Structure 1
Amino acid sequence: MSVGVPLLDSDHKTLLGLINHLQRSIGDDEEHAAVGSVLQALEEYAAHHFAREEAMMDACRYPLLTRHHGTHAQFTEKVLGLKSRYDQDQTGVRARECLAFLNSWLIDHICTTDMNYRSWMIGHPGAEAAAQKVSMTGAVQKGADLDWARLRILLVDDNVNFLEILRTILQSVGVTKISAAHDLEAAKAVISHEPLDMLLSDWHVGQESGLDLVRWVRRGPPDQARLPVLVLSGHERMANRDLALLAGADEFMEKPISARNLLLGVARLAGRAA
């Protein structure tokens, strides 16, 4: 399915990765949270990818740009419709329904429509430069200037599928040094033995509390105690946010997550650690 343009092939891998996570969420205890997070990520990441793709088309004067933009608009409209229904009733949109649309549209789009621009883009000197100007985090300076590739991040969540959704979003902007733990003991072992730039932990890790992990981090040696921490929770209440911050978290985020907000939160944490 490669279109021969590395930046766009990378974007397509991210989009297909999100679809795979949706497939794996079917019947999962947190299927609804996964569906919401994937729909939100698809809305944001597809907008990012479409903007990059269209910027490259414009740079190389691709003659079918207007038609291609129309197919992008159709995809966006469908995803927004699914997301609107989800926002009204989180149990009203299931993973299987989303997959039926995503598999047929995205795979057909990549294998047919996207293949038409290959000869125009490959080797074009201005196309990649145009795409590099489009940032997933928009105009926020912290996100724009951050060297994502240098970040070392630990993800802690007992839900393997949701953890992989987080990993996919982080990898989409170039983060490669990602460790994972599915319980607190494994997380503590990583924190004790690996250099890290930040910790992202779910509130509920099996029968354990991610807040206990945050408190343990803050009681540790100076380098460990300064580790920036983001806590995620599927049960948003103002009291939960306050409890997470009182336990020592630097950021709190509700599930289903926004890909853009996750990346901006990571950028803020990286800024504090700098």
Structure 2
Amino acid sequence: MFDFTDDLSVGNEAIDADHRAFFEMARIIHESVHGGKHDLIILSALLMLDEYVDGHFYREEKAMKAVGYPRLAGHRHRHRVFHGRVRAIVEAYREGTMSVADNLSTLVVQWLRSHITNDDLQYKTWITHSSVDSRPLVYLAMEAEELSHRQHGCLTASHIR
């Protein structure tokens, strides 16, 4: 269930590595829930997944924009809907609904398999040989958050001196 298989490859190592990591994070969340791990460990894994989603979607959308991918708007919308679902589950867990954590690991695997097969493989020929930002996702997540704050008129720590 938590294995990234070759048929899911989009032909770009950075993006494939992100996808592999999603499956691994889903496995960690699943094993943490079923292994009776402490709630803080599970919450940390959920929050890490949330940040990872942000960074990966930013990387992928940036690459699609750079090559003029014609279906970017719809792809971006599907990313936003999924990210909203992830955040809702994380928030429900924070508020004490512990059963949602395992739902998230299942959601990630099912959604990711469907999304890669039905959406990501469509851009495969567009980005296979293009330059994709290969910086670690933590940097991309911070950059995406900074951009979001600027677009919505919010101040971030880097703006306060």
Q: Same fold (TM over 0.5)?
A: yes
- Deviation, 1:134, is 7.7
Contact 1:35 1:94 survives alignment (8 Å): no
Q: Gaps spanning 5+ residues in structure 2: where?
A: 1-7, 144-161
Per the alignment, residue 39 of structure 2 pairs with 32
- Deviation, 1:4, is 0.5
d(CA) in 2 for partners of 1:37, 1:115: 31
Per the alignment, residue 125 of structure 2 pairs with 119
Residues 253-268 of structure 1 mapped to structure 2, 5 A cutoff: none
Contact 1:82 1:93 survives alignment (8 Å): no
Larger Rg: 1
1:43-80 Cα shifts (integer Å, max 9, x gaps)? 10110000000010011000000000001101110011
Please identify which structure carries the higher strand content: 1
Query: Sequence identity of aligned pairs in percent?
Result: 27
d(CA) in 1 for partners of 2:135, 2:126: 19
Residues 35-50 of structure 1 mapped to structure 2, 5 A cutoff: 35-50=42-57
Contact 2:11 2:124 survives alignment (8 Å): yes
Q: Gaps spanning 5+ residues in structure 1: where?
A: 140-274
Where relative contact order (Cα < 8 A, 6+ residues apart) is larger, the structure is 2
SS at match of 1:25: helix
Please identify which structure carries the higher helix content: 2
d(CA) in 2 for partners of 1:94, 1:122: 36
Per the alignment, residue 15 of structure 1 pairs with 22
Instruction: Give the counterpart letter for 1:136 in structure 2.
Output: V
SS at match of 1:15: helix
Per the alignment, residue 64 of structure 1 pairs with 71
What is the TM-score when the length of structure 2 is the normalising length? 0.75
- Deviation, 1:15, is 0.8
d(CA) in 2 for partners of 1:134, 1:13: 14
Contact 2:64 2:72 survives alignment (8 Å): yes
Per the alignment, residue 205 of structure 1 pairs with none
